[in-house]
Chains A and B, each alone.
Chain A
Amino acid sequence: MLAFTLHRAIQAIGVMIAVGIIAFSMFRFAGDPVNQIVSLDTPPAERAAVRQSLGLDDPVIVQFARYVGNAAQFKFGVSYQFRQPVTALLMERMPATLELATCATMLAMVFGILMGVYSALRRDTLLAKAFQAISLIGISLPTFLIGILLIYLFAVVLGWLPSFGRGEVVRIGWWTTGLLTVSGLKALIMPSVTLGLFQMTLIMRLVRAEMLEVLRTDYIRFARARGLTTRAIHFGHALKNTLVPVITVAGLQFGSVIAFAIITETVFQWPGMGLLFVQAVQNVDIPIMAAYLLFVSLIFVTINFVVDILYTVVDPRLRSTISGAA
């Protein structure tokens, strides 16, 4: 077990280093940060001074070593465009992204499961067909379009919800939350729906397929034969057994929800890390890009790592094969 954990940990570190190398080599094609910092009529001497102070004069190897060395100590320098420490900027933006991602995932889980169960049990009703249609829309329409359509309908035409921002936030320690104010909650609705729609359709389809599968199994038939109520069969036995793969997928998807938040955050001017990243790309703000990419890959790697470990805890069969192999 320990060997397995260590093995996975080493793999995780390998992934992080690979991401670091790819990210670093990409920055070389992102454009010249000096041009974004100074104005068009800045004399070359001054440009050279800026270049030197950023360390962009050094050989590539030296720059890479410095980048890795600093990243290992969680030092990401100062943002070129905001002139504030990157770590502080990311920390400030993180609550917004995490709140949005959590809400979107919860929304996706609740509605996805409800719709999935319904369309599995009442396959031929009109509503079930409507759910199928909605899930098609959710999978095929790009996020930014859904966002803009929602804004147009609910903010411009109906005037019910704010079109941008996070509303009023309450500060609790270093965490800021929009969950405690009315304007904050209202501001959360459209971005969560936009971000969660894809996950919701995914979960709904998964639940539906799994549920249909489970309903065909022997133990459900036996339960029916024993005369258990339909309710107990559907929700006590079938749904419970359906949920294991659903939770796994939803957990793994949480990482991509955070990563996909880039688009949703840009459309709704949601002050999270994704928006920060997009602004950084436009302005060749390398310190922010580097930190963000590493942070997101850290989230992915951590989730995968935890899931891997949990599997072995949950499923004894897996454990025995691992110790056998080791």
Chain B
Amino acid sequence: MSVRHTLVAAATLAIAASVMAPASSQTLRYANQGDLKSLDPYTLNETTTHAHLGQIFESLITRDKELKIAPGLAESWETPEPTRWRFHLRKGVKFHNGDPFTADDVVFSADRVRAKGSNLQTRIDADVKVVKVDDYTVDFILTKPNPILNSQWDTWWIMDKKWAEENNATAPTPAAATTPTYASLHENGTGPFTIESHQPGVKTVFKVNPNWWRKPEHNLKEIIFTPIASEATRVAALLSGEVDIIEPVPLQDIARVDASPNAQMLKGPEIRTIFLGMDQTRDELLFSSIKGKNPFKDVRVREAFYKAIDIESIKTRVMRGLSTPSALMIAPQLFALSKDFTRPKYDPDGAKKLLTEAGYGDGFEVTMDCPNDRYVNDAAICQAVVGMLARVGVKINLLAQPKAQYFAKVLKPGGYQTSFYMLGWTPGTLDSHNVMYDIMGCRDDPKSPRGETNLGGYCNKEFDKLTDQVLQETDTTKRNLLIKQAFEIAMKDYAYIPLHQQALAWGVSKKLKVVQRADNQVLPYWMVKQDE
């Protein structure tokens, strides 16, 4: 081959290479109400923090765009027997500092995530044994079958054993640490981005990791993240084009964002369920005009409350159409048989009749606890409920407080001090069992964590029995039927009054293509930004 030919060939190659190179890389500017609170991935179990950690760390499994479990750092896995899970790890993956990823890191991360001070201890039960088989195979040996062992692992971030040992960071940074640890200020994950600078509450800058093992679906070279707590300012920043994406957009500004030439709304159903609960355990309500007995122990009163609530009005008036009324305590995306359930109809006359039958024809007074800075329009929803119950003769004294005071009062450490309350719940495992166990299970055994967030103390032993069967049943069809059976019991008992799943409300620049996942994690690794 002559020199000329070689040159031509080289030129052709160069052109081919330039054509194949990804579209020019971009800077993503992103603002959120919340913040990335700690770089130690086991300090805090919180959505916004996890979404950020997911840019720098990876886990054995990952959740795809539809929230289905997909391979991550583990290429594949199988369950040779119900109590043994075997994970085959991906080869050739490197941490940001160049260390190779191996089975040792998985065993180390499993120990660390369960160690004292970790806020994610529930990711793997304490009695699970994690055994390295070879450098790229790990066994998880269980004491009893658990079909949802890995369901929460999309946020069990894998750390580098060698790095942690070198930097004295083998113990997790407790949420209440009195001195910051190395791991809370530095990161070393395997993920698509690295942290360039992290100023908590001010700004965090991510840089792309050029050595990532996956082919990127994004075209970003840099992410500049700013927490902006003030709602009006966050919206203004999007409208003026200073940021590319904001979360959340307050409901009253949705029309403004949609009308803007630069940006548009991205709305979708979220998986958090908002519901009302009633104290059903105390013999006398703490905050009520009725003395000597507890009206909520009477199923007719609970039914009357349920039927007095006009969920469609809440949807159209309070939520401006951005909610999905729910018959269940879990979102339809998370339970296949959801469509078999419908809400009992809104029926104020029926509700009044039920109250009369129960002996409360003249109505009664009860205090309702409600957060006012936690969920979308939370206090407004509670105000609507107050008006609706007034129509059937129940006088509600509304106590709407900031979440700091609200949770201090109603949760277990506060002694469940509530008679009637509103709460929202996303099952961490994205599975019904979590709701059945934490929210709807009996809390009569003080040693068991069952029913810990069951603030009203609903209790039905038959329901609990089904919950236990659900945990061990490995056949999906049978399992779903068991869950359905349990939810039917709870519905018959009027255990809770589910209201709705609120909607996600992201404001996105028209230059940006994003994937909106129902768990409200804003994930830049799926974002593509057009050239300026």
Query: Which residues does A use to contact B, with CB under 8 Å?
Result: 29-32, 34-44, 46-47, 49-51, 53-54, 77-78, 80-85, 89, 92, 148, 151-152, 155-156, 159, 162-165, 266-269, 271, 275-276, 278-279, 282-284
Contact = CB atoms under 8 A, between A and B. Distances in A.
B449 interface: yes
Contacts of B173: 83
A239 to B, nearest CB: 39
Interface string B226-242: 11111011101101111
Contacts of A156: 236, 239-240
Given A36-B404, A83-B180, A84-B200, A164 B413 contact: no
Contact of A49 (B116, B201, B413): B116
Contact of A164 (B228, B373, B402): B228
B44 A39 contact: yes
A92 B116 CA distance: 31
Given A39-B45, A282-B373, A267 B240 contact: no
B453 interface: yes
B413 to A, nearest CB: 6
B438 interface: yes
B413 A47 contact: yes
Contacts of A44: 412-413, 449, 452
A44 B446 CA distance: 10
B373 to A, nearest CB: 7
Interface in B202-247: 202-203, 226-230, 232-234, 236-237, 239-242
Interface of B: 31, 35, 37-38, 40, 43-46, 116-117, 119, 121-122, 173-180, 184-185, 199-203, 226-230, 232-234, 236-237, 239-242, 373, 402-405, 407-408, 411-414, 425, 428, 434, 438, 449, 452-453
Given A50-B174, A84-B180, A271-B201, A164 B226 contact: yes
A35 B408 contact: yes
Given A83-B177, A266-B229, A269-B229, A31 B405 contact: yes
B44 A41 contact: no
A268 B31 CA distance: 13
A151 B201 contact: no
Given A83-B38, A266-B229, A267-B233, A41 B452 contact: yes
B240 A53 contact: no
Return the 4 tightest CB-CB contacts between A and B, nearest first.
Answer: A31-B404, A32-B408, A82-B200, A39-B45
A151 B236 contact: yes
A282 B239 CA distance: 26
20 contacts: A31-B405, A41-B428, A49-B116, A50-B174, A54-B176, A78-B177, A78-B179, A83-B37, A84-B184, A84-B200, A92-B199, A152-B236, A162-B240, A162-B242, A164-B242, A165-B226, A266-B230, A276-B201, A279-B201, A284-B404
B177 A282 contact: no
B343 to A, nearest CB: 25
A81 B46 CA distance: 12
A31 B408 CA distance: 6
Contacts, number: 162
A34 B119 CA distance: 12
B37 A30 contact: no
A32 B404 contact: yes
Given A35-B407, A35-B413, A268 B201 contact: no
Contacts of A46: 119, 121
Listed residue (B413, B425, B434) with the most chain A CB atoms within 10 angstroms of its CB: B413
Query: Considering residues B37, B117, B241, which has the most beta carbons from chain A within 10 angstroms of its beta carbon?
Result: B37
Counting chain A CB atoms within 10 Å of each CB, the highest count among B174, B180, B236, B411 belongs to B236
A190 to B, nearest CB: 11
Given A44-B452, A81-B37, A38 B180 contact: no
A115 B177 CA distance: 53
A269 B449 CA distance: 40
Contact of B404 (A41, A85, A89, A282): A282
A97 B297 CA distance: 55
Nearest to A279: B201
Contacts of B199: 92, 271
B176 A37 contact: yes
Contact of A279 (B185, B229, B240, B414): B229
A50 B45 CA distance: 14
A83 B201 contact: no
B178 A32 contact: no
Given A35-B404, A35-B408, A50-B175, A269 B200 contact: no
Given A266-B229, A284-B404, A41 B122 contact: yes
B175 A37 contact: yes
A278 B404 CA distance: 13
Contacts of B453: 40-41
Contacts of A51: 413
A69 to B, nearest CB: 15
Contacts of A279: 201, 229
B226 A82 contact: no
Q: Kindly name the residue among B31, B200, B226, B452 whose own CB sees the greatest number of chain A CB atoms within 10 A.
A: B200
A53 B174 contact: yes
A102 B321 CA distance: 47
Given A37-B175, A82-B37, A282-B373, A32 B413 contact: yes
A267 B237 CA distance: 12
Nearest to B423: A40
B51 to A, nearest CB: 14
Nearest to A42: B119
B46 A164 contact: no
A28 B122 CA distance: 30
Contacts of A271: 199, 201-203
